[in-house]
Structure 1
Amino acid sequence: MKVEESRIPIMSLPAEERPRERLSAFGPSTLSDKELLTIILGSGIKGNDVGHLASALLKLLDTSDLHCTVDQIRTIPGIGRAKAALVAAALEFSRRRFVPAKNKITSPADVLPLVRHLADRPQEQFLALSLNGAHEVIKLRIISVGLVNRTLVHPREIFAGCVKDRAAALICAHNHPSGNLQPSAEDHEVTRRLTASGEILGIPLIDHIIFTQEGYYSFLEHDGLGQ
């Protein structure tokens, strides 16, 4: 099922549906990542609405672990030095203020709050969560951004970060833009390969989770891993 991103300019929306007005009325937690970026960017340029700039910026941030220089941000057509500096400053401020909690994973449901903000992405995002011996999250990484209906991953890309983190275990997760929570044949194959690789490396895959805006599917809870 193909999911297309809306191309409606922000200013063409009714006032009550615009991100800034919705933030004022309902609070920032109700906005998507893209909507938050449209507020930070403020405006677009002729032929390139701020919503389109926000989509391009979001794609860059998703694949850069939120560490972008001003020059990297400026590679997006329509974002000049001033806007790029504003975005870079906002990212740095959030990093300085944010103290990550010890997110302990005791069930698949504990993973959902960490990845839910990616559920509305129009492409599949494949994530890896490296865990310590107490099953606390060391780091969450976006490994790859794929097509509308699938993403391509290789075990070496996933376990490289786990080895770097000295992780004791791994959880993988990816969104289904179609909204269908049922795993595909490719999802089963990826799970089998990662389970086998984890056994060899001594970093077991303890779950593979598919998530949408409506809920999640856990291989551990349903079929078991590698089945």
Structure 2
Amino acid sequence: MKKDHFSVCDTGDGKFLISGPRSLPLSQRPRERLIKFGAESLSDRDLLSILLNTGVKGKNVSILAEELLNRLEQDKEIPPVKELIRLTGLGESKASAVAAMLEFGRRRWGMMGAKIASPGDIFNTVRHYADRRQERFICLSLNGAHEILAVRVVTIGLVNRTIIHPREVFADPISDRSCAICVAHNHPSGELKPSPEDDEVTLTLWKAAKILGIRFLDHLIFSAKAYFSYSQAGRMPREG
């Protein structure tokens, strides 16, 4: 037998009713509202209900989502799976899906507003790209306080002066009204020593940043466990 799905709808008088989605008007069904109006139109509980998909015997998905939401709001960090599965109805499979999606969201968007004060901060922001089989050239747009405005993959493939053109790197930071940028790229081989092409790309971007009035703070080359920082090594271009 196919499991039923449930949702919570506001009756308008401060009370809530729990019912199956097929008994609700289309406009009140979380999945349909997500498709039609976008994720921003849903409550946190509705978003979790869609992710969880089904409840368990004696606990429908809306109640499970509410309990999960309360659990997540108690923690500043993403709870480990072994903690999430303590919720009745949240087995390893669903708990793993929740943890994975929360971590993916943190990696992609959760860093916004974080301050870059050292090469290590850049590394922590981009290190999840280290497992890619091709090089990713990444640009961090920063405001005047060196807080992250955006993190973007500029190109995928070998890093050289032909592919990494200043217009591609600076197009979005200019749109972001960035005051500074950092760039980074992974070395799938694990070798962190900069190549002559890496040096040339760094110099080209530094010159372009100077013309644009945007501070070029650093260029990181990184693997899964370590990194090379041009600024830390004293190899950032200098005047004269």
Whether TM exceeds 0.5 here: the answer is yes
Structure 1 position 224, deviation (Å): 2.6
- The letter of the residue matching 1:180 is E
Distance in 2, Cα, partners of 1:140 & 1:156: 17
Counterparts in 2 of 1:194 and 1:101: CA distance versus 1, 3 Å: closer
Gaps of 5+ in 1: 1-25, 29-38, 41-89
Provide the secondary structure at the position in 1 that maps to 2:233.
coil
Give the drift of 1:204.
Answer: 1.6
Q: Give the letter for the 2:120 counterpart.
A: A
Q: Which residue of 2 aligns with 1:203?
A: 214
Paired positions, count: 138
Quote the residue 1:182 is aligned against: 193
Of 133, 138, 146, the residue aligned with 1:135 is 146
- Partner residue in 1 for 2:66: none
- Residue 182 of structure 1: how far off its partner (Å): 0.5
In structure 2, what is the Cα distance between the partners aligned to 1:133 and 1:193?
A: 22
Q: 1:106 aligns with which of 117, 135, 141?
A: 117
**2:173 aligned to which of 149, 152, 162:** 162
| Inter-partner Cα distance in structure 1 for 2:196 and 2:223 | 18
- In our comparison, the structure showing a higher alpha carbon Rg is 2
- The alpha carbon displacement at 1:225 in A equals 1.2
Give 1:140 shift.
Answer: 0.4
Q: Secondary structure at the match of 2:204?
A: helix
CA distance 1:205–1:94, change in 2 (3 Å):
closer
Aligned to 1:160, what secondary structure does the other structure show?
A: helix
One-letter identity of the residue aligned with 1:197:
A
Deviation at 1:114, TM superposition (A): 1.1
How far has the Cα of 1:101 moved from its partner? 4.8
Residue 102 of structure 1 deviates from its aligned partner by: 2.0
Deviation (angstroms), 1:223? 3.2
Counterpart contact for 1:193–1:226, Cα < 8 Å = no
Q: Identity over aligned residues, as a percent?
A: 46
Q: Which has the higher contact order (CA 8 A, sep 6+)?
A: 1
Query: Is the alpha carbon distance of 1:215 and 1:100 closer, same or farther for their aligned partners in structure 2, counting shifts above 3 Å?
Result: closer
CA distance in structure 2 between the aligned counterparts of 1:204 and 1:212, rounded to whole angstroms? 25
Q: Is structure 2 residue 171 aligned with structure 1 residue 171?
A: no
Distance 2:220 2:150 in 1: 16
- Provide the TM-score with structure 2 as the length reference: 0.52
Distance of 2:155 and 2:222 partners within structure 1: 16
User: Which secondary structure does the structure 1 equivalent of 2:224 belong to?
Assistant: coil
TM-score (norm: length of structure 1): 0.55
